[in-house]
Amino acid sequence: MKLSNVFIRLSFLLAIVIFPVFIKAQENLISPAKINAIKLINLTGKESRINLNKTTVIVFLSPECPLCKNYLPGLVKLQNANKSINFYGVIPGTSYSIKEINELKNEYGINFDLLTDKDKRLSKYLGATTTPEVFLINKMGAITYSGLIDNWSSSLGQKRLVITEKYLEAAIKDLSNGKQTFKKTIPVGCLINDI
């Protein structure tokens, strides 16, 4: 067999393996420019933006959602273990004041940026519907994971005694190990709305 035939066959096989990953990445691709154009408000009341210059976790939160409060210590711990990743907590809507969000930050020792998405432009752009809901975005702008933090809460009011799947943690590990997996779970929690 000629070397050129071997090369053509290997190229074909490689294309078959890579093409589905490429297509999946395209389905989950977001625009860093569009994300950066969305004006958010930080805890000093000033305009702020999300920077996707490196791997980023965006978690939608609500100061009064019990599930969010339960997950905050674990999110802080996860951020501490992954300093090379940008973490942002986003509070959608106008229901909470900066004072209430600051109280949440202080009570739970949150060490990542908390931002408000008053007009819910970021929530709508990413398709977020629930708090807590996470999005793991790689530095190329592909959402490699979205949904639940783990499988502790199986439905509203139903919690497992033992967490068996740490979805966000596993997705971060896959990404840091160079695996391009794309996974989505259905989030459980409080619906994003302004009452």
User: 57: domain CATH number?
Assistant: 3.40.30.10
Residue 132 domain-assigned (yes or no): yes
Residue 13 lies in a domain: no
3-class secondary structure, 80: helix
Whether the CB-CB separation of 21 and 51 falls below 8 Å is answered with: no
User: Could you read off the pLDDT tens digit of each residue along the chain, which spans 195 residues?
Assistant: 566 665 566 555 544 544 444 434 445 788 888 988 999 999 999 999 998 889 999 999 999 999 999 999 999 999 999 999 999 999 999 999 999 999 999 999 999 999 999 999 999 999 999 999 999 999 889 999 999 999 887 666 667 677 888 999 999 999 988 887 889 999 988 888 765
In a domain, 66, yes or no: yes
User: How many domains does the structure of the chain reveal?
Assistant: 1
Asked if the structure places residue 121 within a domain, the reply is: yes
Domain that holds residue 123: 32-191
Report which residue type is found at 30.
I
Residue 160 in any domain: the answer is yes
Residue 2 falls inside a structural domain = no
Provide the pLDDT for residue 21. 44
The DSSP call for residue 152 is: S
Question: Does residue 25 form part of some domain?
Answer: no
* CA 167 – CA 164 distance, rounded (Å): 9
